[in-house]
Amino acid sequence: MTEITRIATQPIAGQKPGTSGLRKKTRVFMQAGYLENFVQAIWDGIGGIRGRVLVVGGDGRFFNDRAIQTILKMAAASGAAKVIVGQNGFLSTPAASNLIRVRGADGGVILSASHNPGGPDEDFGIKYNMANGGPAPESVTAAIFAATEAIGHYDILEAGDLDLSAIGTSRLGAMEVEIVDPVTDYATLMEKLFDFPAIKALLAGGFRLRFDAMHAITGPYAVEILERRLGAAPGSVVNAVPSPDFGGGHPDPNPVWAKPLMDEMYGESAPDFGAASDGDGDRNMIVGRGAYVTPSDSLAVLAANAHLAPGYAGGLKGVARSMPTSGAVDRVAAGMGLPCFATPTGWKFFGNLLDAGMATLCGEESAGTGSDHVREKDGLWAVLLWLNILAVTGKSVAQVMEDHWAEFGRTYYSRHDYEAIDSETANRLVDDLRAELGGLMGWTHEGLVIEEAEDFAYTDPVDGSVSAHQGLQIRFRGGARVVLRLSGTGTEGATLRVYLERFDDNDFGQDPQAALAPVIAATEALAGIGKRTGRSGPDVIT
Ligand code: G6P
Ligand code: ZN
């Protein structure tokens, strides 16, 4: 029986997409009508899906499979011509972006809460990507949100569940459903971009790597690419089987959550190269033997060396970073004569620059790097570009970093997160500091002098759209900076992010927290974080 049913519903408060789609506790999404309302609002917000082709997939977290069945039935009910789904409902975020592009689909629905834990009591998320493969811009997410506030019904096909494990084509009502291998197209793209023979030779020569998939979506991708196609020793990819609750872990590739990998890389028999990716495969962490690379430094190194990979041999058109990301890449751009853009936090802000051919490489301090090959950040892409650079130069990660700093100087960088603080306290802290910005010029604290203080607003150079209040940016004389903003991806209370940096052009061996101590002290004097939140320090330091 395949009958379209129209179900009466009412707006549900709070279905407002944040930095990266709608993220809530899984149980919130599991409430009757919650997912359905939002999916219908996507269809309504983008002007309907009649006759359109969509890609659907997710990171395999708890509720992924149920949500996909609902989305398929709702796509069929609203007249989509075809939906392309990753086998078992799996697609990494970058692979979904690629699939939208190579299949010329009209858009896609990606189910993920990225690096947030998964499970019935953890997080779930959903976002819409456009025909260019990138996250919907603010104009579209605003239309979707408006649709959630105006909704009166949703349409769904009354039908049995589809078997998502069987590759091939079937029908759901009048709609075609094609189930594809989630890895193949993506792996083919990687082979085109990178010097696989050089990386193969490196690995065959005894270079050892460890990739921690953190029980998340990149497992199957990494096994296929690193072990099968490039010849890394079997077992080089660990935690390779995606599980609905990510093995009970927190699939965020940073020194805190990827501690076992860090311990190994700083241990006695460390491999040459370590890397990890997050829940949905768009983030990355790079660590050499005894040498952790900050995401901001990684972006700078990749920008300086991308030409060593076949996909970028012609050079870069430009680079872009999110505003809170360190200025390390700006120094590379200046040295190489490349345009360099600073956008608000959120990968969606890179889309126009990539589409317009104004930037080739982009990156964020939040462990995302990517290029114009897709319209999402891409964890394995970053790993492969690093391996390509190491293979061609013959250097270790530590050597690459030392040489990079010697050439461009070192930007010491750290992010301090204060998690789950009371929303009102957090808002007041930011509002109060914002109100003071105008009078801060010349303010000094132990030798640091403020030379610029702004409430960052971005005017997109391609479409002229303006995004205001994207973070408070305070620059000190001599190249130090602090940025304060509230996270747009949390699901509980507010998370205050404090981004700290300081440039040094001759002393490269300091501990970042020590190097940044004056900036940290100045920030406390300015914003009174400890005093206002009652916290003695940040919850997470990256
Ligand atoms: C997601 C987005 C990124 C963003 C990150 C942190 O991963 O895709 O673009 O940098 O979240 O966002 P937040 O608002 O929590 O700082
Ligand atoms: Zn992610």
Q: What is the CATH number of the domain that holds 300?
A: 3.40.120.10
What is the model's pTM? 0.94
State which ligand 1 atom lies nearest to the alpha carbon of 488. 14
Residues assigned a catalytic role: 114
Please give the pLDDT value at position 19.
75
Ligand 1 and 489: CB distance under 6 A: yes
Among candidate residues 182, 203, 234, the one where a domain is terminated: 182
User: CA 409 → CA 48, 366, 476, 510, distances in Å?
Assistant: 51, 22, 17, 13
d(CA 440, CA 461): 29
Confidence of residue 2 (pLDDT cuts 50, 70, 90): confident
Tell me the pLDDT tens digit for each residue of 189-248.
999 999 999 999 999 999 999 999 999 999 999 999 999 999 999 999 999 999 999 999
116, 495 contact by CB (below 8 A): no
Give 364 Cα–ligand 1 centroid separation in angstroms.
Answer: 8
Among candidate residues 140, 159, 182, the one where a domain is terminated: 182
Give the 3-state secondary structure percentages of the chain, helix then strand then coil, rounded to 5.
35, 25, 40
Give 491 Cα–ligand 1 centroid separation in angstroms.
Answer: 13
Record the tokens describing residue 319, joined without a space: 């680079």
Average confidence (pLDDT) over 357-368 = 97
CB crowding 292-312: b at 16 or more within 10 Å, else e: bbbbbbbbbbbbbbbbbbebb
Whether residues 370 and 475 fall in one domain? no
**Counting ligands in written order, which one lies closest to the CA of residue 110?**
2
Among candidate residues 339, 374, 408, the one where a domain is terminated: 408
As for how many domains the chain has, the answer is 3
The parent domain of residue 102 ranges over: 3-182
23, 489 contact by CB (below 8 A): yes
CB crowding 231-265: b at 16 or more within 10 Å, else e: bbeeebbbbbebbbbbeebbbbbbbebbeebbebb
Give 453 Cα–ligand 1 centroid separation in angstroms.
Answer: 23
HSE, CB side, 13 Å, CA atoms: give it for residue 318.
15
Please give the pLDDT value at position 418.
95
Average confidence (pLDDT) over 364-377 = 97
532, 462 contact by CB (below 8 A): no
Ligand 1 and 497: CB distance under 6 A: yes
Local structure of 23: helix, strand or coil: strand
Whether residues 243 and 261 fall in one domain? yes
Whether residues 340 and 484 fall in one domain? no
State which ligand 1 atom lies nearest to the alpha carbon of 490. 15
Please give the pLDDT value at position 389.
98
Please give the pLDDT value at position 260.
97
Ligand 1 and 346: CB distance under 6 A: yes
Whether residues 148 and 211 fall in one domain? no
With CA atoms as reference, report the closest residue to 463 among 189, 139, 220: 139
Confidence of residue 348 (pLDDT cuts 50, 70, 90): confident
d(CA 297, CA 397): 12
Residue 461 falls in which region: left (phi positive, over 0), alpha (psi -120 to 50) or beta? alpha
Please give the pLDDT value at position 76.
98
Ligand 1 and 345: CB distance under 6 A: yes
Please give the pLDDT value at position 325.
98
d(CA 454, CA 477): 15
Q: Note the ipTM here.
A: 0.96
Residues forming beta bridges with residue 456, ordered by sequence position: none
HSE, CB side, 13 Å, CA atoms: give it for residue 283.
30
Ligand 1 and 20: CB distance under 6 A: yes
d(CA 222, CA 242): 12
Helices 295-305 and 379-393, packing angle to 10 deg? 50
Whether residues 291 and 193 fall in one domain? yes
Whether residues 140 and 220 fall in one domain? no
Helices 423-436 and 517-527, packing angle to 10 deg? 100
pLDDT over threshold 70, residue 113: yes
**Which residue's entry shows tokens 């997050």?**
278
Whether residues 217 and 346 fall in one domain? yes
d(CA 388, CA 203): 11
Residue at 194: amino acid letter: F
Top mutation candidate among 250, 345, 417, 456 for ligand 1, by most atoms within 8 Å of CB: 345
Give 125 Cα–ligand 2 centroid separation in angstroms.
Answer: 11
State which ligand 1 atom lies nearest to the alpha carbon of 485. 16
The CATH code of the domain that includes 508 is 3.30.310.50
pLDDT over threshold 70, residue 262: yes
Average pLDDT, the chain: 96
Ligand 1 and 347: CB distance under 6 A: yes
Tell me the pLDDT tens digit for each residue of 4-30.
999 999 999 999 998 789 999 999 999
pLDDT over threshold 60, residue 1: no
Confidence of residue 488 (pLDDT cuts 50, 70, 90): confident
pLDDT over threshold 90, residue 276: yes
Which residues keep their CB under 5 angstroms from ion ligand 2? 114, 278, 280, 282-283
pLDDT over threshold 90, residue 490: no
pLDDT over threshold 90, residue 343: yes
Please give the pLDDT value at position 128.
97
d(CA 210, CA 192): 23
Top mutation candidate among 116, 366, 377, 467 for ligand 1, by most atoms within 8 Å of CB: 366
Please give the pLDDT value at position 426.
94
Please give the pLDDT value at position 432.
95
Please give the pLDDT value at position 492.
75
Ligand 1 and 488: CB distance under 6 A: yes
Whether residues 191 and 168 fall in one domain? no
State which ligand 1 atom lies nearest to the alpha carbon of 283. 7
Ligand 1 and 19: CB distance under 6 A: yes
Q: Count Cβ atoms below 10 Å from residue 355 Cβ, excluding itself.
A: 16
Whether residues 298 and 191 fall in one domain? yes
127, 136 contact by CB (below 8 A): yes
Ligand 1 and 24: CB distance under 6 A: no
Ligand 1 and 364: CB distance under 6 A: yes
Average confidence (pLDDT) over 290-298 = 96
d(CA 90, CA 220): 10
Please give the pLDDT value at position 192.
98
Top mutation candidate among 343, 347, 353, 491 for ligand 1, by most atoms within 8 Å of CB: 347
d(CA 148, CA 151): 5
With CA atoms as reference, report the closest residue to 363 among 397, 316, 395, 311: 316
Q: Percentage of the chain surpassing pLDDT 70? A: 100
Please give the pLDDT value at position 471.
96
Got the DSSP string for 286-306?
Answer: EEETTEEE-HHHHHHHHHHHG
Give 164 Cα–ligand 2 centroid separation in angstroms.
Answer: 23
- The single-letter DSSP state of residue 227 is I
d(CA 198, CA 513): 37
386, 170 contact by CB (below 8 A): no
Top mutation candidate among 283, 364, 496 for ligand 1, by most atoms within 8 Å of CB: 364
| Atom 4 of ligand 1: nearest residue by CA position | 346
State which ligand 1 atom lies nearest to the alpha carbon of 18. 14
Record the tokens describing residue 405, joined without a space: 């700093």
103, 73 contact by CB (below 8 A): no
Confidence of residue 157 (pLDDT cuts 50, 70, 90): very high
361, 354 contact by CB (below 8 A): no
State which ligand 1 atom lies nearest to the alpha carbon of 495. 15
Ligand 1 and 366: CB distance under 6 A: yes
Whether residues 198 and 330 fall in one domain? yes
d(CA 282, CA 362): 13
Got the DSSP string for 114-158?
Answer: TTS--STTSEEEEEEE-TTSSBPPHHHHHHHHHHHHH--EEEEEE
Average confidence (pLDDT) over 443-465 = 94
Average confidence (pLDDT) over 463-484 = 95
455, 472 contact by CB (below 8 A): yes
Whether residues 151 and 72 fall in one domain? yes
| Atom 16 of ligand 1: nearest residue by CA position | 487
State which ligand 1 atom lies nearest to the alpha carbon of 19. 14
Whether residues 8 and 30 fall in one domain? yes
Q: Give start and end residues of each alpha helix (H) in 278-415.
A: 295-305, 328-336, 351-355, 379-393, 397-408
pLDDT over threshold 90, residue 305: yes
Ligand 1 and 114: CB distance under 6 A: yes
